[in-house]
């Protein structure tokens, strides 16, 4: 405990330095904007800003990118509440009761509860990250190639299991992502695979062009042809104070959302999205008046908003402690760290304490910055939503091309982005999830390497995966998930969200882009 | 993108899941065909062709599963392509940018892309198109290249 506090003091000495503080602020502002703009989620936002961090030192770069991530979580709630358009996917549940509150003249209170819930959840979950990551990292030092292989396989299976659609579709997308990760030079033999004469593919396909293509460009392709943006309701500052009853109704949902979000965040998958769905379902189930949900219940805003912010910190636990990203956003963050010469994993905390604890402390600072940004300045940010999409999307496209090109200074990456944009557009039209592709892409080289190293260690015997207890346990859990998923595959592609309360609000389905 | 199955389509063959699954089967077969030139190794000592082949087979198996249970998904005709023209134009603009970015330089390329999207696709007023195109292409270059020190290509005229 004393050691942790001492380390945290070291972290604050880094985070409160003027340069780091400035970049935390800039990251939070950009993140808020990114979260508010439909079509630019945190993943595309982080990917696009990645080249701008090349000139910075590693700590400021990571603080800036993390600021964009949790800033987007805050910003996403604004469009959900005021326009019923989720700025990013995790804010879908906030649309239901947040917009209903707006229609009842309680937009200010909904925004305030969302911001305060996000602040509490963000701050408390950083405490969890602070205490959980170091012991987990120590434990992970026992991991050899078989354990790493089992862990990554389990991560992909959990992601597929937790995703919204059928598991077969998610696993197919994960396999596709892993196949993309096979492109390039085989690290064990030096064999150049699937290069088609392009030397730029030697290091494989970059995660940035794939992420920007699948998430940013495909969203533009799907949205640009659609017309008539909805009306923007601008709240007045004096309306921002929730009533006493609204405070009372929000306290427990914020608490539950925080704990739920953090725990779900640790599990691989699109944690911040899933956590908000689960939190909404829990709040509705626990409520004495579930009929209020969908009609402007403040609990329906407080719970999901707290949960998705808490999950953001939770998602950093496996990335920082194990070096295994739990979803596409941590995967891009991890790629960013690698570009800056840092290898996330068990040794990060001991070898780079200033970076790790500076990052943790900057998250505390960032949450305060976001609370200040998101309450009094919400009226300023809302003006951005008045820009017509036909003007906005060409600008977003310019930044997509710029961001993707700048990572390696290669037009091959721009081509990859265009191809991935077309692929993402088609996959989303055909109701496939694209998040497993990004995770598969970044895990592929590590997964293949650990698999082949394991076999080399055991002279080709597959028994190594079952003889070592940690690896065997993880593979057993993965097998269990596969078996569990067989039932919905056989009876029909059951959407788990239907059971968690999404079906009670069909109007939301109609209104969502 | 697609709402829940309103029932009544289970007997149709061409559902979105089945067509999507079929496309993935074709892709998986293509990867297996391409991977044949890579040394496969053995089960106990895998070569560089082992993992791609295994993954392609896994993709094929999942795709067949999708086809098998995809009879209840909405029919292919339920897909609407209203935004298709816009999507093609934007994709074309992206491909154009990739093609000429290093030949013309960042600023001129983006200027042309923006003029095309704002003026031709979105039919905005010429003054708006000119102002936005110049500000965005030159402004983003100044912000990223000059202030943030991101390397961006210059064309033959220094743009």
| Pick from A18-22, A299-303, A414-418, B145-149: least confident | B145-149
pLDDT band at A129 (very low <50, low <70, confident <90, very high): confident
pLDDT above 80 for A142: no
B146 close to A (CB below 8 A)? no
**pLDDT beyond 70 at A170:** yes
Secondary structure of residue B154 in the 3-state scheme: strand
With an 8 Å Cβ cutoff, is B131 touching chain A? no
- Report yes or no: B140 at the A interface, CB cutoff 8 Å: yes
The conformation of residue A213, written as its DSSP 8-state character, comes to I
Phi, psi at residue B41, to the nearest 5°? 75, -150
Chain-wide mean pLDDT for chain A? 80
How far apart are the C-alpha atoms of B53 and A179, rounded to whole Å? Answer: 9
pLDDT higher at A115 or A40: A115
Q: What is the pLDDT of residues A394-437, one digit of tens each?
A: 988 998 898 888 878 889 999 999 999 999 999 999 989 887 88
The number of C-beta contacts closer than 8 angstroms across A and B is 200
pLDDT category, A504, cuts 50, 70, 90?
A: very low
A473: region left, alpha or beta (phi > 0 left; psi from -120 to 50 alpha) = alpha
Q: Does B102 touch chain A (CB under 8 A)?
A: yes
Least CB–CB distance from B140: residue in A390, A398, A495: A398
pLDDT tens-digit series, residues A315-349 = 888 888 878 787 777 888 888 888 888 888 778 87
Contact B48 A191 (CB under 8 A): yes
DSSP state of B144: I
| Residues of chain B contacting residue A460, judged by C-beta atoms under 8 Å apart | 42-45
Note the pLDDT of residue A391.
87
Determine the Cα–Cα distance for residues B1 and A358; give it in Å rounded to an integer. Answer: 41
What's the pLDDT score for residue A488? 59
Distance from CA of B107 to the nearest CA of A (A): 10
If pLDDT is split at 50, 70 and 90, which confidence band does A500 have? low
- Cβ neighbour number for residue A252 with a 10 Å cutoff: 14
- Which of A139, A170, A138 minimizes the C-alpha distance to A156? A170
> Which residues, in sequence order, are bridge partners of residue B154?
B105
Query: Residues of chain A with pLDDT > 90: what percent?
Result: 14
User: Residue A507: pLDDT above 50?
Assistant: no
Burial per residue of A327-352, b for 16 or more beta-carbon CB atoms within 10 angstroms, e otherwise: bbbbbbbbbbbebbebebbbebbeeb
Phi, psi of A463 (to 5 degrees): -65, -20
Does residue A86 register a pLDDT over 70? no
Contacts of A461 in chain B (CB under 8 A): 44
- Rounded Cα–Cα distance for residues A149 and A445 (Å): 11
- Assess whether pLDDT exceeds 90 at residue B73: no
pLDDT digits (tens, 9 = 90+) for B103-153: 999 999 999 999 999 999 999 999 999 999 999 999 989 888 887 777 889
Query: Which structure tokens are listed for A401?
Result: 């091309």
pLDDT at B56 over 80: yes
Read off the pLDDT band of A505 (50, 70, 90): very low
A298 pLDDT more than 70? yes
Cβ-Cβ contacts under 8 Å for A283 (sequence gap 6 or more): A253, A256, A257, A293, A297, A299, A300, A302, A303, A304
Tokens 């989720």 identify what position? Answer: A86
Is A104 within 8 Å of A113 (Cβ atoms)?
Answer: no
């Amino acid at each position: 405990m004393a050691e942790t506090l001492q380390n945290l003091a070291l972290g604050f000495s880094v985070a409160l330095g003027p340069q780091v503080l400035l970049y935390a602020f800039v990251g939070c502002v950009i993140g808020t904007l990114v979260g508010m703009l439909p079509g630019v989620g945190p993943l595309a936002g982080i990917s696009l800003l990645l080249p701008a961090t090349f000139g910075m030192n590693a700590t400021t770069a990571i603080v800036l990118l993390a600021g964009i991530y949790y800033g987007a979580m805050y910003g996403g709630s604004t469009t959900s509440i005021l326009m019923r358009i989720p700025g990013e996917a995790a804010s879908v549940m906030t649309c239901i009761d947040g917009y209903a509150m707006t229609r009842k003249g309680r937009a200010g209170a909904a925004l305030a509860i969302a911001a305060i819930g996000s602040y509490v959840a963000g701050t408390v979950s950083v405490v969890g990250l602070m205490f959980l990551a170091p012991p987990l990292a120590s434990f992970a030092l026992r991991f050899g190639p078989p354990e790493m292989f089992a862990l990554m396989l389990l991560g992909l299976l959990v992601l597929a299991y937790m995703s919204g659609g059928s598991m077969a579709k998610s696993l197919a997308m994960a396999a596709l992502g892993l196949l993309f990760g096979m492109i390039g030079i085989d690290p064990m033999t030096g064999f150049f695979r699937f290069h088609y004469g392009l030397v730029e593919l030697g290091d494989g396909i970059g995660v940035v062009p794939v992420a920007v293509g699948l998430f940013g460009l495909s969203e533009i392709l799907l949205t640009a042809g659609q017309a008539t943006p909805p009306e923007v309701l601008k709240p007045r500052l004096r309306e921002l104070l929730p009533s006493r009853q609204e405070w009372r109704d929000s306290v427990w949902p914020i608490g539950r959302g925080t704990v739920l979000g953090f725990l779900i965040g640790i599990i691989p998958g699109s944690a911040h999205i899933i956590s908000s769905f689960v939190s909404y379902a829990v709040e509705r189930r626990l409520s004495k008046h579930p009929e209020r949900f969908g009609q402007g219940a403040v609990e329906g805003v407080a719970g999901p908003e707290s949960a998705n912010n808490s999950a953001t910190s939770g998602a950093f636990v496996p990335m920082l402690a194990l070096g295994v990203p739990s979803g596409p956003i941590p995967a891009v963050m991890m790629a960013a760290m690698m570009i800056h010469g840092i290898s996330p994993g068990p040794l990060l905390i001991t070898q780079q304490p200033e970076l790790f604890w500076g990052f943790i402390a900057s998250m505390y600072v960032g949450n305060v910055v976001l609370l200040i940004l998101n309450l009094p300045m919400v009226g300023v940010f809302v003006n951005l939503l008045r820009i017509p999409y036909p003007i906005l999307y060409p600008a977003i496209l310019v930044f997509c091309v710029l961001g993707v090109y700048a990572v390696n200074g290669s037009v091959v990456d721009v081509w990859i982005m265009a191809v991935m944009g077309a692929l993402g557009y088609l996959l989303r039209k055909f109701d496939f999830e694209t998040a497993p592709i990004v995770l598969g892409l970044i895990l592929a080289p590590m997964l293949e390497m650990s698999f082949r190293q394991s076999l080399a260690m055991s002279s080709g015997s597959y028994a190594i995966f079952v003889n070592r207890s940690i690896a065997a346990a993880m593979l057993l859990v993965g097998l269990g998930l596969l078996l569990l998923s067989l039932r919905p595959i056989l009876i029909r592609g059951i959407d788990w969200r239907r059971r968690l309360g999404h079906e009670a609000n069909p109007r939301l389905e109609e209104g969502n882009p | 993108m697609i709402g829940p199955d309103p029932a009544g389509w289970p007997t149709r063959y061409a559902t979105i899941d089945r067509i999507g699954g079929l496309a993935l089967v074709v892709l998986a077969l293509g990867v297996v065909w391409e991977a044949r030139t890579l040394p496969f190794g053995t089960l106990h000592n895998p070569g560089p062709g082992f993992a791609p082949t295994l993954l392609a087979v896994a993709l094929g198996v999942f795709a067949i599963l999708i086809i098998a249970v995809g009879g209840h998904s909405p029919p292919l005709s339920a897909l609407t392509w209203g935004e298709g023209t816009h999507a093609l134009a934007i994709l074309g603009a992206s491909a154009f940018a990739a093609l000429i970015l290093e030949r013309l330089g960042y600023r001129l390329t983006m200027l042309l892309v923006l003029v095309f999207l704002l003026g031709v696709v979105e039919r905005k007023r010429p003054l708006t198109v000119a102002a936005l195109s110049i500000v965005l292409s030159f402004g983003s270059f100044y912000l990223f290249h000059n202030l943030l020190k991101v390397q961006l290509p210059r064309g033959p005229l220094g743009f």
